A and B are shown apart, each in its own frame.
Chain A
Amino acid sequence: MREINVSDITSNIKEMCIEAAHFLSGDMSRAFNAAVENESSELGKKVLSQLKDNLKIAGEEMIPICQDTGMAVVFMEIGQDLHFTGGNLEEAINEGVRQGYKEGYLRKSVVSDPIERINTKDNTPAVIHYNIVLGEKVKITVAPKGFGSENMSRIFMLKPADGIEGVKNAVLTAVRDAGPNACPPMVVGVGIGGTFEKCAILAKKALTRPVDMPSDIPYVKELECELLDRINSMGIGPGGLGGKITAMAINIETYATHIAGLPVAVNICCHVNRHAVREL
C-alpha cells in the first residue's frame, strides 16, 4: 500500500487554485483561439479581442482572469490502495484552498451560511467530491466555479417519454435563458441519467473533461455536435452582444437511471472554465 502525506495534497491544491485563476487550461486555450478565428460579428470580435488581451494581462501580471475566482470545487479520484497519512484529508484540502486564495490574491467569495451570509474570509469550505477507484494514485481536479454562470444552471426531471428531444429542449432552454448573464462564449456541461443529485454531479464533471475530447458513446457524440450547432445559431454571441460563437463546447456525460425517470442537468460555465488537473 502506497502512502502519501496530506501536506502534499495541501500544497498541490494551493498551487492549482492559483494556476486555474490566472491561466487557461490547454484545451480551453485551443477552444478560445478557435472562437477568435471563427467569430464574424463586429461587437463579437471586439469582445473576444478584449478577452484575449485580458488573458495576456492575467498571465503576465498575475491578475486573476476574472474577479470572481469562484467557490473551489474539488474532485478527488482516490486509488483504493493509497493511504493518506499526517492528518485529516478534508482539512488538508480546505487548507490548500485557504492558502491558495490568500497567497494568490484571489477573491474570498464564500459565506458560511446561505441565509445568514457571513463571509468566511478564506474562501473555505470547498465543495469536495470523492470517488474511489482502482490503483494507488490520487487524481485531483480543482475547478473553481464562478456564480455568474452557476446561477444560470438548471435541473430538469424529464419523463422517459420526453426522450432525446426532451433532452435537447432542456439544454437549449437553459442556454437561451442564460444568455448574456453567463459570460459567453460559454462551455456547457450536461449530465443525463442517474438520480437528481447524480445528474448534477455528472454535469459538473462534464465541464472538467477536455473540451476537445468528444464523448466516446456514438449517440452522445452526435448529440454534442448537434446541440453545439444549434446553440451557436441562437445569435447570443460573445458577451451576449450578438455573434455566432455562443458556446465553445458542450460536454455530455451519461449514467444509468430509473425506469420512471430521465433527469437532465445543465451546468453552464463561462469562457474561462477553470480546471487544473494533477495526479500524485
Chain B
Amino acid sequence: MDKHINVPFSKEEAKKLKIGEYVYLSGTIYTARDAAHKRMDEALNNEEELPFNIEGNIIYYMGPSPAREGRPIGSAGPTTASRMDKYTPRLLDMGMIGMVGKGKRTDAVKDAVIRNGAVYFAAVGGAGALLSKAIISSEVIAYDDLGTEAIRKLEIKDFPVIVVMDSEGNDLYKAVTAGMQKRI
C-alpha cells in the first residue's frame, strides 16, 4: 500500500516503514553526492558545522542537470548510493534519518541504519525528468563552486520512492534476488 510522509520525520515514523513499500515524500530534503560528502566529512574532521542540520533530515544523492528558464530544476534522478558509503555511517550517527539513492549499500551502512533506526529509499534510476516534476523549488545552500555537486535544499511534493532498506536492516535488493520476496 502506498504511504505519504512528510520530511523531516522521527525515528518512530521510520520504524513503521518496511521494505517494498512505495512511499510519497513531501517537505524539505537536501542533495549531496560525492564531492559534497567529501567536503562535509572534512568539515567534521575540522570540527566545523555542517551546512544544514542533519538531524531528522534526508540526503538525496543527486546532481541535477541545469534548469531551463522558468523551471526549479533540470533532470533530477538518483545517483548510485554506494559511492557515499564511506561517509554515510558518520552522518547516520549524527541523526540523519534517511537517504534517497539507488543501488546496494555496504554492511557498514546497514549496521549504521540499524543502530540509528534510519531508512534507505530508492528512487527510480533513470527517471530524472519525471522526478523533477515532484520538486517544487531548489536552492543552493553550500559549496556553490561544485556546480551540479553543490548542496541543494529541495522542497518536494509527493516524491515517489521505495523502501529498499528498513530500520531493521532488511534489504529489498537482496530479498528479491534471493527469491524470498515472493509477494513482490
Contacts and interface: CB of A to CB of B under 8 A. Distances in A.
A67 B172 contact: no
Interface string A234-260: 111101111100000000000000000
B105 to A, nearest CB: 10
A193 B35 CA distance: 37
Given A181-B82, A243-B176, 8 more contacts: A51-B127, A68-B128, A119-B146, A119-B147, A148-B80, A180-B125, A183-B102, A235-B179
> Which 9 A-B pairs give the minimum distances between C-beta atoms?
A242-B176, A181-B103, A183-B125, A54-B130, A67-B75, A63-B129, A107-B65, A64-B75, A58-B129
Interface string B156-184: 00001010100000001101110101001
B79 interface: yes
Interface of A: 41-43, 46-47, 50-51, 53-55, 57-58, 61-69, 105-109, 117, 119, 121, 148, 151, 176, 179-181, 183, 234-237, 239-243, 270-272
Interface residues of B, number: 46
A72 to B, nearest CB: 14
B117 interface: no
A55 B64 CA distance: 17
B74 interface: yes
A241 B147 contact: no
Contacts of B30: none
A221 B38 CA distance: 45
Contact of A53 (B76, B130, B175): B130
B176 A237 contact: yes
Interface string B122-154: 101111111111000000000000111000000
Contacts of A237: 176
B184 A271 contact: no
Contact of A64 (B80, B122, B128): B128
B20 interface: yes
A105 B80 contact: no
A108 B130 CA distance: 20
Nearest to B133: A57
Contacts, number: 157
Given A43-B20, A51-B127, A54-B127, A67 B62 contact: yes
Contacts of A243: 176
B75 A180 contact: no
Interface of B: 20, 22, 35, 62-68, 71, 74-77, 79-80, 82, 102-104, 122, 124-133, 146-148, 160, 162, 164, 172-173, 175-177, 179, 181, 184
B160 A63 contact: no
A68 B129 CA distance: 11
Given A63-B128, A235-B179, A241-B122, A105 B74 contact: yes
B17 to A, nearest CB: 15
Contacts of B74: 63-64, 67, 105, 107
A128 B79 CA distance: 25
B52 to A, nearest CB: 21
Nearest to B149: A119
A180 B66 CA distance: 26
Contacts of A63: 65, 68, 71, 74-75, 128-129, 132
A239 B124 contact: yes
Residue of B76, B172, B177 ringed by the most chain A CB atoms within 10 A: B177
Given A50-B160, A119-B147, A64 B65 contact: yes
B68 to A, nearest CB: 5
B54 to A, nearest CB: 23
Given A57-B133, A236-B176, A270-B126, A241 B103 contact: no
B128 A65 contact: yes
A47 B172 CA distance: 14
Contact of A107 (B102, B148, B177, B184): B148
Contact of B63 (A47, A55, A107): A107
Contact of A41 (B128, B131, B184): B184
